[in-house]
């Protein structure tokens, strides 16, 4: 009885919050801030709720699904919508359905199929629906960004404190227990010893605050560091000191995660943005966006094949084994959603094996969603972030992570805000012209 009541209360709460999609601008902005808040705190809240109540609340996992349903209803109630937006939704859903059907006809468990759908496609479906109902055009993007930075700073400060006060007892850390529970739900014979490296590195804590994965926390800090670095390279004097201070805060936060990938992301993006600063050819920038991570990946593979050097260990060498597996097992159609849930250390290996050639279409759809309407000022930033995303996906599994969602959500906010500003400027200009005529 108690668990049923809790489930009902959570569902009512989530539908009430999602209804802000059809509210005024302030309500839509509040919803955007809650989306950011929930992405950060979901794992932390769900773990401690389960611990306190003694039972698991299944519906607490369904906020984004409920938000998708609400956005779909809002889309149906619109009198008109752009054909290009509808095509994006249809392409994403068609890819998901095809990959799901391949897994279903291969007798894969429906639960595993949905786990992979949720990890790969749910953020894309949600953001494409929000795009179609013009949600990103009306929210207060400055407030949403400031709230996001506040959440990152809060999480980073907690991470530093946890790192400094770590006693060595990793089994008492909530992240270890949460990760262990989720792994045992997927794989009953999972070896808990495999989780130790995700929580500690040597004798030091891989600290990530309220985020369950230190890897994900590192990617988010790097994402923010790249933003502040972009501001610094743009030489905006009025915010110079502010950007410098926050940039070094992000580097400190990356350090306490004990994850090298975050520093690699920042270094890689600096190289790309530095090139963009002295290049004025848009087509060359687009080519570079894909070419640089591809060449960097090949150089990394050749470096790892030497078997010794700085940064080469069992973890990095394991990537070579996985890419060898990809070369042996790849097929054009893929093995379907649910075939490799949460497996592999590379987003590309994971999607190529599950979706086959459709994984390239997936990457192209993400690219088009993020770059179709980006403003001139933020264009190089979005290009650099996308190039860094490709680079990261060659050796890290980002699907289903908070970073994967933030990467799509925040860059789409920037892109669509440019459209909103253009429309607003046109309205102001038309009103001025009318005033002159009168």
- pLDDT value at 422 more than 70: no
What pLDDT, in 10s, does the model give residues 219-275? 999 999 999 999 888 755 667 888 899 999 999 999 999 888 899 999 999 999 888
Give backbone dihedrals phi and psi of 344, rounded to 5 degrees, phi first: 75, 155
Mean pLDDT over residues 369-381, rounded?
77
Q: Quote the tokens at residue 152.
A: 């990152």
What pLDDT, in 10s, does the model give residues 138-193? 888 889 999 999 999 999 999 999 899 888 787 778 888 887 777 776 666 666 66
Output the pLDDT for position 160: 93
Output the pLDDT for position 228: 92
pTM for the whole thing?
A: 0.89
Question: Which of 62-71, 82-91, 208-217, 425-434 has the weakest average pLDDT?
Answer: 425-434
- pLDDT value at 6 more than 60: yes
Domain chopping of the chain, boundaries: 1-80, 82-166+207-437
Q: What's the pLDDT band for 373 if we cut at 50, 70, 90?
A: low
**What is the average pLDDT score of the chain?**
84
What pLDDT, in 10s, does the model give residues 119-152? 999 999 999 999 888 888 888 888 999 999 999 9
Output the pLDDT for position 375: 66
């Amino acid at each position: 009885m108690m668990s049923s009541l809790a489930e009902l209360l959570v569902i009512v709460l989530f539908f009430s919050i999602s209804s802000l999609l059809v509210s005024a601008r302030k309500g839509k902005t509040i919803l955007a801030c809650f989306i950011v808040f929930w992405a950060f705190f979901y794992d932390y809240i769900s773990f401690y709720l389960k611990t306190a109540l003694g039972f698991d609340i299944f519906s607490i996992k369904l906020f984004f699904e409920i938000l998708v349903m609400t956005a779909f209803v809002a889309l149906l109630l619109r009198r008109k919508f752009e054909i290009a937006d509808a095509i994006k939704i249809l392409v994403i859903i068609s890819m998901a359905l095809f990959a799901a059907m391949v897994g279903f006809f291969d007798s894969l468990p429906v639960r595993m199929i949905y786990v992979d759908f949720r990890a790969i496609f749910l953020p894309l479906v949600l953001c494409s629906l929000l795009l179609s109902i013009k949600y990103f055009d009306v929210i207060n993007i400055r407030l949403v960004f400031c709230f996001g930075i506040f959440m990152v700073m809060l999480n980073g400060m907690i991470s530093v404190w946890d790192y400094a006060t770590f006693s060595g007892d990793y089994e008492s850390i909530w992240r270890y227990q949460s990760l262990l529970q989720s792994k045992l739900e997927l794989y009953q014979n999972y070896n808990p010893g495999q989780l130790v490296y995700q929580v500690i590195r040597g004798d030091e804590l891989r600290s990530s605050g309220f985020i369950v994965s230190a890897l994900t926390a590192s990617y988010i800090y790097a994402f923010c560091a790249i933003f502040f670095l972009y501001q610094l390279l743009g030489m905006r004097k009025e915010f110079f000191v502010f950007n410098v201070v926050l940039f070094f805060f992000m580097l400190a936060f990356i350090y306490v995660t004990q994850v090298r990938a975050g520093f690699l992301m920042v270094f890689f993006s600096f190289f790309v943005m530095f090139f963009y600063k002295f290049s004025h050819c848009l087509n060359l920038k687009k080519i570079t966006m894909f070419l640089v991570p591809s060449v960097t990946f090949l150089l990394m593979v050749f470096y790892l094949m030497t078997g010794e050097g700085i940064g080469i260990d069992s973890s990095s060498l394991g990537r070579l084994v996985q890419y060898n597996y990809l070369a042996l097992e790849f097929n054009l159609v893929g093995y379907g959603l649910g075939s490799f849930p949460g497996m592999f250390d590379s987003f590309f290996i994971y999607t190529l094996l599950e979706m086959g050639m459709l994984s390239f279409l997936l990457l192209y759809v993400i690219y088009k969603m993020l770059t179709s309407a980006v403003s001139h000022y933020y264009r190089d930033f979005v290009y650099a972030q996308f190039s860094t995303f490709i680079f990261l996906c060659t050796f890290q599994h980002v699907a289903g992570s908070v970073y994967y969602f933030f990467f799509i959500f925040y860059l789409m906010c920037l892109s669509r805000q440019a459209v909103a500003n253009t429309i607003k400027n046109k309205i102001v200009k038309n009103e001025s012209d009318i005033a002159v005529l009168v």
